[in-house]
Amino acid sequence: MQSEKSYEELLDSYRKLQFRITRFSAIEQELINTRDRLDYELVMYKRLNDFNARALKTESLEDLLQLSVESLVDVLEIECATIVFNSEAFQTNTIVTEGLRLTEKNLDEFKTCLENISHEFKPNTSYVFNTKLLDNKPELNQFDSGLFFNFVDDEKDFSVSFSGFISKVNAPLYNQISDRYKTIFSVFVQQTIALLFNLLSKLKVENLNAQVNSVRQFYESVLNHSPAKILVLDADYKVMFTNERLLEKEPIWKDCVNQSIYDVAQKSELAKNHFNQLIKHIEDSITKKGLVKFEELTMQIDTPQFILRNILPYYNSNQQLEHIIITGVNITDLKLSQQSVLKKNEELKKINSELDNFVYSVSHDLRSPLLSLKGILMLIFEIDKNLSPETEEYLEMAETSVNRLDGTIQEILEYSRNARLKVKPSWVDLKPMVHAIFDDIKFSTNTTVAFKTTFNGSSRILSDHARINTVLKNLIGNAVKYKSNNTDSPFVHLEFENTENQIFIKVIDNGEGISDEAQKRVFEMFYRGTKNSIGTGLGLYICKEIIDKLNGNLSLESKLDQGTTVTVVLPKTLENE
């Protein structure tokens, strides 16, 4: 039989039992708290799942942000929430709120405050704001507690901050925000960011597709309004694009997109040869990796049509063939015009040649009797020394007319020669040439004319000897011929300068000069610049034509009753150096 326990033993047993009961109660309370927390978190996760399901159905950024801020309040069971989203790529900088009652001005200040906080706290981390911290922010001192999370993604070019608050006024109605909110808050934020990534990627793709479609429509519009027929094939010779002009002029290409060119060729037996030639040229362009041009002759209602085809293979950056661009332009009118022009050019060449030969032949035929007449007049003057003054005057007038006519014929010959003959460059020494010219003409006047030359640089130039001689003979001859009767010391001064790039020749005189009005027309055919002119009006015109043929420039400056300066500028070739 068990002995009875003493009082002390019973008291000790009671205390142990009481301790166990207390521990059991504490454990039971912990289990209850854990169950309540799990139930609470389960409710939150159910709300998160519901939010996720609804968010996946949103189509715009605005709808997703608004749904997110509303769900943030519901999931965390807080009084109000905000989301600030910024993206340069989408040109968006906005704030969405739920549960806040602020004016537009206060909302802007509130947004600025949250943006400043984003720079103060480490990104991608959840923070719990207590009353002390919130009191330091004038825009936030109305709140008792809060949550904050800022996310920045440089690659995607956007940032977003999440915040939730409980006001001091309504704090007794809500559970105080504490660290235990961080977990569910972080889960919500990460889930929302994932949804943002997904939506932004989708929107970017849509924007890119819209841009691509816009560009495609633009270029299709340009190509459809082109007068050229345009066909685009892929690397496998499948039709990718046909413009309206091609479909209008070659109906065989209708409804051929995504069909092989070989299949299109089977539509018509008559077109097989055309397609065989086209395929051959396509293969040539691919082999050459460049543009291939060829002409086609087709018949349209018994009328020949000339088509100019261009085939250009397009290679990507990896040198892989992607497209083959084929264009066709109707050049029938151009071809016919070209043939007409060629025919007329041949006719014109023949006419010009015949005209040159005629001028040359007639000029020579005219000179022969004139030279005979000049010889007869000279014999009369030499044989008969007793001519009456009246007869001698008549004979001198005849000699003058013969000389004038001979000069005119020689000018016509020089003009014909300049037009017909090519430039023959050779080394020409101008110093003896100009002195010989002056010696030939200095006795053509009764008054002595002083002749002076100045040469700066070598007088040897590379040019056409006959043409340069003709020009200088005309210019020096005019200077002597039109000397002034109002001066006792007429002169002709020739200045020559051989520079690095050009050759300058000036013929200066103090003759009777040319009026300003006449200077505008002195280089015209048959124009005579002074009332005392005894020439044909061809001299300066021929000089201008010759200098133009030598790729030079001829200019004239003159003052009436003071004199004239004629300047010749010739280009200097490498050989002149």
Express each pLDDT in 144-191 by its tens digit.
Answer: 999 999 998 877 678 999 999 999 999 999 988 888 788 888 889 999
CA distance 176 to 45: 19
Percent of the chain with pLDDT over 70: 88
389, with CB counted inside 10 A (0-12, 13-18, 19+), is exposed
Rounded CA separation 546/419 (Å): 9
Q: How many CB atoms lie within 10 A of CB 260?
A: 15
Is the pLDDT assigned to residue 314 strictly greater than 70? yes
Give residues with Cβ within 8 angstroms of 284, minimum separation 6.
292, 311
Q: For the sheet containing 563-571, what is the strand order?
A: 450-456, 491-498, 502-509, 563-571, 553-559
Q: Show the tokens assigned to 330.
A: 């109707």
| Rounded CA separation 527/393 (Å) | 29
DSSP assignment string, 282-293: HHHHHHHTS-EE
State the greatest distance between any 2 C-alpha atoms of the chain, in Å, as a whole number: 204
DSSP state of 512: S
Statement: residue 200 has pLDDT above 60: yes
Average pLDDT over residues 28-49: 69
Arithmetic mean of pLDDT over the chain: 83
CA contacts within 13 A on the Cβ side of 462: 10
pTM of the predicted model as reported, rounded to 2 decimal places = 0.47
> Based on the number of CB atoms within 10 Å of its own CB, is 407 exposed (0-12), middle (13-18) or buried (19 or more)?
middle
For the cut 50, the answer to whether the pLDDT of residue 203 exceeds it is yes
What is the predicted pLDDT for the residue at 70?
Answer: 92
Task: Give me the pLDDT at residue 1, please.
Answer: 45
Confidence of residue 262 (pLDDT cuts 50, 70, 90): confident
Q: Which of 463, 461, 457 lies closest to 497, judged by CA? A: 457
Highest mean pLDDT among 216-220, 279-283, 358-362, 409-413: 279-283
Sign of CA dihedral 252, 258, 260, 261: positive
